[in-house]
Structure 1
Amino acid sequence: MTRERIITVPAHTLVASRETIPADNMQGYFDRAFTRSIEAIQSVGASPAGPARAYYFSPLTDVVDLAGGFPLAEEYVEAVEAAFPDLVHRIPEFRVITGRHRGPYDQLGVTWQELIEHIRDLGQQTGPVFWEEYITMPTPDADPADMITDLYATLV
């Protein structure tokens, strides 16, 4: 993990499919969620305001409450919300610690654990929401070792 730092992330809007699913169904979920979110954004003539993200609203156990999608510029929120009200999520401002994972997604758990330990070492406590921002998205010919994912853990 690299780049641990504490920052304030401003309030923003996410177009995402929020579901509670079995943790072993995450890949299928993300395929559906990202496709549905991008189609909703493009249907109003917009583009995502940043890379794909996954927000976790519960601990990652056998079942997880998560939302996978894309941030949206404020000027398009009303149009997307009118057509897809279930996909629009307003994320409040959060104080977070962020870190960067380089490598395959199946090693994200190790990096998350390192980040959580770093938070504890700082004498901080995690808040209710965690998210991943996929700086590089996988493609069929991409090398998993080249994947970059930024991690965000809210702080109380």
Structure 2
Amino acid sequence: MECTRTDLPAVTIAAVRSTVPMSRLTEFYDTAYAQVTAAAGREGWTLAGPAFGWYHRMPTDSVDLTAGFVVDGAALGTWEDVEVSEMPGGAALVLIHTGPYDALADAWERLEKERAELGVEGRGDFWEEYVTDPAPDGDPDLNITRLVLPLSVDA
């Protein structure tokens, strides 16, 4: 797991945002991705990246979360429960995790340790990009997740 520092471009996303109890996280993700996929089909948008979960602050017993996809061909606005907006770019630390989702906490710890060693501050939000689409009967050790920690403007 190598951590890299990069500059990310701003991207257009189609997503659903909600404050979700941690116990209902999987259900929220499934519903949000289905809503975005349906809206993209109806509106003619192209899904242009993997599914993501954008955490707007550190989770507690609930989480302020946006789930969706980067899209092409979509105007900013709201279609039913799906909002098309811009995910800001900028400096970030990125780490690629290969393995089961239950090991993501360790990967985030590694990324946070790297941030501290570099002496930079996070912006306050962070996200996971689910590069592989895990099959229900697939091998979780093959899941690939891209962890992104945006850095503050001063970083």
Normalised to the residue count of structure 1, the TM-score between the two structures is 0.91
Letter in 2 for 1:123: G
Structure 1 residues not aligned, in runs of 5+: none
Pair 1:34-2:33 in alignment:
yes
| C-alpha distance in 2 between matches for 1:82 and 1:22 | 24
- Output one character per residue of 1:45-88: Cα deviation in whole Å (capped at 9) or x when no partner: 23301110110001021111010110011xx222x736347521
Is this contact kept in 1: 2:4–2:95, CA < 8 A? Answer: yes
Q: CA deviation at 1:3?
A: 3.0
Pair 1:151-2:150 in alignment:
no
| C-alpha distance in 1 between matches for 2:138 and 2:63 | 28
Normalised to the residue count of structure 2, the TM-score between the two structures is 0.92
Hey, what does 2:87 align to over in structure 1? 91
Letter in 1 for 2:121: Q
Hey, what does 2:5 align to over in structure 1? 6
Q: CA deviation at 1:106?
A: 1.2
Structure 2 residues not aligned, in runs of 5+: none
Q: Do the aligned partners of residues 45 and 105 (structure 1) sit closer, same or farther apart at CA in structure 2, a change above 3 Å counting?
A: same
Pair 1:114-2:114 in alignment:
no
Hey, what does 2:50 align to over in structure 1? 51
Hey, what does 1:77 align to over in structure 2? 74
| C-alpha distance in 2 between matches for 1:67 and 1:82 | 14
Q: Structure 1 segments of 4 or more deviating over 4 A?
A: none
Is this contact kept in 1: 2:55–2:66, CA < 8 A? Answer: yes
Count residues in correspondence.
152
- Output one character per residue of 1:81-105: Cα deviation in whole Å (capped at 9) or x when no partner: 3634752121122210000111111
Q: CA deviation at 1:4?
A: 1.0
Letter in 2 for 1:71: V
Hey, what does 1:102 align to over in structure 2? 98
Structure with greater helix share of residues: 1
Please tell me the root mean square deviation across aligned C-alpha atoms, in Å.
1.5
